[in-house]
Structure formats: structure tokens, C-alpha cells
Amino acid sequence: MDTQMLIGAQFQAGTETAEEVLNPRTGALIKGLPEASLSQLDAAVTAAEKAFVTWSRTTPAQRSNYLLKIAQAIEDDADGFAALEALNCGKPINAVRNDEIPAIVDCWRFFAGAVRNMHGAIAGEYLPGHTSMIRRDPIGIVARSRRGTIR
């Protein structure tokens, strides 16, 4: 099971104490997942800020296509995701495979369509002499750094 984190364009293993993921039915250890260090968290936020420059300029069609690719990847590996979720949560694999995975895929596809079809009042006179408009722009990375600031 690959448990590395994607930071920028590189996969890295966490370097801090492992979080133990236990099988709720048996109590057996499924996997120890090393947590990210503070420097890895900062590196991830920095990489996300750098990627945002390009991402914020993508079109709704491009964003939609990325979300559709994620949906397809989940659907393509539905049995693997179902097995992992059943092990992690102790629920019947068929409930995951037949109920949860299709709902997850549908959610990704829903938002892939929604990103291309955002509605709202486009203009209005709400204050005398001023025209108000809705403008949907990406706002960037939102995370808490080790310095306690929100980016």
C-alpha cells in the first residue's frame, strides 16, 4: 500500500510518528502511517501556492476535465478502494462497492459539471450609483502553517 504524500512533484514518506490505523472488527494493525513533519507541511503549502498560479488561470472546461479524470480513476479501481474502505471501517465490502463508491464517483462528476455551470445574479444595482456583480475566482491555498497563520 503506497502511503507517501505528494508534495510538489515528488512523493515523500512522512517523517514523524506513525498514526496507527486499526481494523475496527479485529483491532489488528492495518498500517502505520507516518505523519508529515512541520517542514513537509510548509513545503506542501509552498508547492500548492506555486501550483495555484497556473491552476487559477485554468478554464472551467479544464477544471471539469481534471475532476472527471479523478472520477474515472476511482471508478477504475473501485474494487481496490472498496476493499480498503471495508477493511478500514469494518463494513461489508458489497455495501462499499455498490453504494459508497458509486456515490463518490457521482459526486466528483457532479462537481465536474457544476464547475462549468455556475449560476448567480450577474449584476444588480444594490447601492445607488454602484453595480454589483458576482465574480468567481479561485482564492488560493487555505492552510495553517506552523507559524499559526492562515494562507
pLDDT of residue 17: 94
Helix axes 60-76, 78-89, angle to 10 degrees: 70
pLDDT of residue 92: 94
State what percent of residues in the chain have pLDDT above 70: 84
pLDDT of residue 140: 74
Q: C-alpha grid cell for residue 111?
A: 462537481
Cell 491552476 appears where? 55
pLDDT of residue 147: 54
CA angle in degrees (0–180, nearest 5) for 141-147-151: 15
In one-letter notation, the amino acid at residue 24 is P
pLDDT of residue 137: 72
pLDDT of residue 39: 93
pLDDT of residue 145: 55
pLDDT of residue 143: 63
Within the chain, which residues score under 50 in pLDDT? none
DSSP string, the chain: ----EEETTEEE---SPEEEEE-TTT--EEEEEEPPPHHHHHHHHHHHHHHHHHHTT--HHHHHHHHHHHHHHHHHTHHHHHHHHHHHH---HHHIIIIIHHHHHHHHHHHHHHTT-------EEEETTEEE-----------B-TTS-B-
Q: C-alpha grid cell for residue 7?
A: 508534495
The pLDDT tens digits of the residues spanning 102-124 come to 999 999 999 999 888 876 666 66
CA distances to 6, 43, 62, 146 from 150, in Å: 21, 15, 28, 10
